[in-house]
Amino acid sequence: MVDQEKYQSKLDYIFNQIPSYQQVGKIAYKEGLDTMLEFDKISGSPHKSYLVIHVAGTNGKGSVSHMIASVLMSCGIKVGLYTSPHLVDFRERIKVNGQMIPKESVYDFLEGYDSFISSAKPSFFEITTAMAFDYFRKSNVDIAVVETGLGGRLDSTNIVSPIISIITNIAMDHCEHLGYSLVAIAKEKGGIIKENVPVVVGEYSRATRDVFESIADSKGSPLIFSQEYTYSDVTLDDYDLDLYGDYQVHNLRTVLTALKVLSRSPRFMALTGENWSDVNIREGLKSVIKNTGFRGRWEYLSLFPPVICDTGHNVNGLSYVFSQLRRQDFKRMFCLIGFVADKDLDKILGLLPQSAYYLFTNAKIERALDAGVLAERCRSLGLEGEVVPSVQEAIARFKEFCTEGDMLFIGGSTFVVGEAIQFFEKNENFFAN
């Protein structure tokens, strides 16, 4: 068993010496696949030893990835799952059958490739991608569900040869890297489409549809739009899904379409045998959280009083979240929010409920937007609230206010949600005291 101090030292190195996009933003973004391809070569191209499902998109790719992984697990398949970012523990990014990569495996990988990391200077995401692919091979997974980090065409994960590609949707986000139009972003996300490999697209507009059709046609890739497929009329009431955000209906349709396409693949069906059934698919969909440990999507951190968190952080995602929030049963709504400094807030702030009382805060990361700056901008729009220095103190402040019928929403950024989850894990009976 690896010494905790040694493990933490190795982890601190890749976080501090090779910062992640999650922590510092665009200065950590590294364009191009050359270093990743070199890393892959010296590690023996581990991703070629198992089937891969590749998932990209602006919103929903985490939900889609976890749903698919859960279904495959319910069908008796050994599944690797690579997603980002993490909420609490770095190891959340790399899982096999819902279990996080052991600390020993993280340490051994970083120790084993220390020389290459020091000399080639791969990005944080390149390191974690190589680590995931290597761990999946050592774990003898049958299939890996691999989520892109940012974009698609130049994403570190785009060295794989998948059995299916999935693009959930296209919306305006990370424009400084992906482009300032839906067409430009669609071209980047569409970069995961491979020669003769089927691609499922969840949501699309007229403009993005044209982009996907052009790319798929040039590569001879079968293209399926879930909005026009068998499951286009499916609702959340049709499946006992354990993810409760209204937006999950779009992800559910995408997942069901992708599973149908996969069922036509002899390579895929050879893994499942007689276990591939509607019963097991439904069982997987109602056990996503249990099977994969998925968190932070319309999640109740407390029932009495109701405290809901969600990682939606752009206009597309937050429009669904706040629409659903307004329909909840409450006397007073409180919103604990914080954002990253490089987020374009102009349209986001216009979505915030006018009737709520706000606790403006910032997460403990360099990228966090100063809570005072956020409060000033929100007040200029007529929103009422106060600045609280930390997520933990903001939750405590809500407790001071709280009376029967009040509810709290926590969100704005993944980091705020992550800190809230940590707080409630350590203080399970916080509102009972």
Residue 180 pLDDT greater than 80, yes or no: no
pLDDT of residue 20: 52
Q: What is 299-432's CATH number?
A: 3.90.190.20
Residues of the chain with CATH 3.90.190.20: 299-432
Percent of the chain surpassing pLDDT 70: 95
* CATH number for domain 4-292, candidates 3.30.1370.60, 3.60.90.10, 3.40.1190.10, 2.40.70.10: 3.40.1190.10
- Which run of H or E residues covers position 385? strand 384-387
- DSSP H helical ranges for 220-332: 248-262, 266-272, 278-285, 288-292, 315-326
pLDDT of residue 363: 94
Bridge pairing between strands 299-302 and 307-309: antiparallel
Per-residue model confidence as pLDDT tens digits over 217-269? 999 999 999 999 999 999 999 999 999 999 999 999 999 999 999 999 999 99
Phi, psi of 260 (to 5 degrees): -65, -40
pLDDT level of residue 171 (50, 70, 90 thresholds)? confident
pLDDT level of residue 432 (50, 70, 90 thresholds)? confident
Take residue 267 and report the two structure tokens written for it: 């390579």
pLDDT of residue 264: 96
Measured distance CA(338)–CA(378) in Å, rounded = 11
Bridge pairing between strands 79-82 and 94-96: antiparallel
Residues of the chain with CATH 3.40.1190.10: 4-292
Phi, psi of 288 (to 5 degrees): -60, -50
Taking residues 343-355, report their average pLDDT.
90
Take residue 31 and report the two structure tokens written for it: 């364009």
How high is the mean pLDDT of the chain?
Answer: 93
Measured distance CA(46)–CA(120) in Å, rounded = 19
pLDDT of residue 367: 87
80: left (phi over 0), alpha (psi -120 to 50) or beta: beta
